[in-house]
Amino acid sequence: MRRFLLAEIMMLAIRHSVRKIAEPVKNVFKTTRMGSFTSVPAVREDVQDADFEVGSIASRDSLLNRCIGELPPGPGLITRNFVVFKSRENKAENFDGAKSLLSSPRSMLGDKSHPVIPENPTVSSSSSIPHIPPQKSDTFRILTWNILAQALAVEHDNFVGLPDGTLNWTERRLRILHEILLYNPDVICLQEVDHFNFLNKCLVPLGYRGVFCSKPDSPCIYLRNNNGPDGCALFYRKEKFDLMVASSRVLEIWRVQSNQVCIFAQLSVRATGQQFCVATTHLKARQGALLATMRNEQGKDVSSYLTACGGGGSKPLVLCGDFNAVPSEAVISTIKSRLSVESAYSKLYNNDEAPYTTWKVRGDGEYCHTLDYIFHNKHLDVESVLLLPTEEQVGPSRLPNLRYASDHIAIACDLRIK
């Protein structure tokens, strides 16, 4: 472990890592790969999904039905609803089932086992395709999710007690696609993406446009049967937004490039001309004082990068992703203070965070933490958030399983531009 840390700290920045591009956006941001000091990579092309064909006239409903139809018989996939907040403009009625839907694990979360219910939430009605996205032009839905890189899941993450077939890629990719399409987001931010071409071929016919930025030295490329490096991806709905500018950055720790990246995009609402900035990142993993310090340095670099890109001050800003940090860790307060942002889910949990966004069992124990966030500044108002699955929905084997594709839980919200 120390060798990897020292290697990352010693790597020198060999070129400026911020690259701005205008329309049209290429599907892939290329980054300089920095070789490991301990092994030889076996880099492969992203071709493992060539068997999955999507017609040019595919629709969201047809792909959702295909996902269900091609999965083997088994437990139904987890589905959730949105809590919609009342406001002076939104006089929606209360939904008495909100409290039951907000249950959280009792055995592992201490005081958070009974989350505070907001005073006036309403929940969208249940359906097979829950909650259509906001129709107002000044409101958009954003979803962020660490989808669990396939190479890491099979060869590295040491999950324990998974149901048979959980990590079978031909089935797991259908669960990933189903989860994304089910909630019909306008902006999609993904982490640990090592099958970008699969997502791109499925989402482009539905009107999305995507960009991808791989990690400079992805651990995936050192694993057997990998599909190339993992990284972050950002998709947006073309009929709703114009892309003004996009860029990516390899995050720095003490002015040295690390192995984590960030994607930035400035979007303009076609109907109104309103603009907002969105960014996604995946900070360094693992626990420990040194790792927490390195994450905090990455948080400072993310903040400086987004500010330099114009993603602060008077412009609406959303920053989301897997920060690999619990709410009490320094990097969270660093990002909040430097970018003047708050968490979308704090509106649901009375200024606290969601009780968990990942729940897994590995060889060294069970982990139930909040690591994923959607941050926004004062120029955006949260109109709804996607509920977390209950402990019963998660199931005794925890995540991933045959009902859910990743060890992290997708979070989403509807944001209104003020």
CATH architecture of 60-84+132-417: 4-Layer Sandwich (3.60)
pLDDT digits (tens, 9 = 90+) for 222-260: 999 999 999 999 999 999 999 999 999 999 999 999 999
pTM for the structure as a whole: 0.86
H or E segment and range at residue 66: helix 60-70
Torsion angle, alpha carbons of 99, 117, 86, 178, to 10: -60
pLDDT per residue as tens, the chain (418 positions): 444 444 444 443 333 333 333 333 444 444 434 334 345 567 778 999 999 999 888 999 999 999 999 999 999 999 999 999 976 444 333 333 333 344 444 333 333 333 333 444 444 443 333 556 778 899 999 999 999 999 999 999 999 999 999 999 999 999 999 999 999 999 999 999 999 999 999 999 999 999 999 999 999 999 999 999 999 999 999 999 999 999 999 999 999 999 999 999 999 999 999 999 999 999 999 999 999 999 999 999 999 999 999 987 789 999 999 999 999 999 999 999 999 999 999 999 999 999 999 999 999 999 999 999 999 999 999 999 999 999 999 999 999 999 999 999 999 999 999 9
Nearest CA to 177 out of 74, 79, 64, 78 is that of 64
Nearest CA to 306 out of 256, 353, 354, 245 is that of 245
Q: Which two tokens stand for residue 417?
A: 């531009």
Residue 146 backbone dihedrals phi, psi, to 5 degrees: -85, 105
Question: From the CA atom positions of the chain, what is the Rg in Å?
Answer: 20
Residues whose CB is less than 8 angstroms from the CB of residue 143 and which lie 6 or more positions away in sequence, other chains included: 180, 183, 185, 187, 188, 189, 386, 410, 411, 412
Nearest CA to 235 out of 278, 174, 173, 285 is that of 278
CA gap 418, 416 in Å, rounded: 6
Nearest CA to 307 out of 296, 295, 297, 319 is that of 319
pLDDT at 87: 64
- What are the Cα distances from residue 18, in Å, to 205, 251, 257? 29, 10, 12
Q: Is 82 helix (H, G, I), strand (E, B) or coil?
A: strand
Chain centre distance of CA 83: 19
Residues whose CB is less than 8 angstroms from the CB of residue 355 and which lie 6 or more positions away in sequence, other chains included: 104, 105, 109, 112, 113, 115, 349, 370, 388
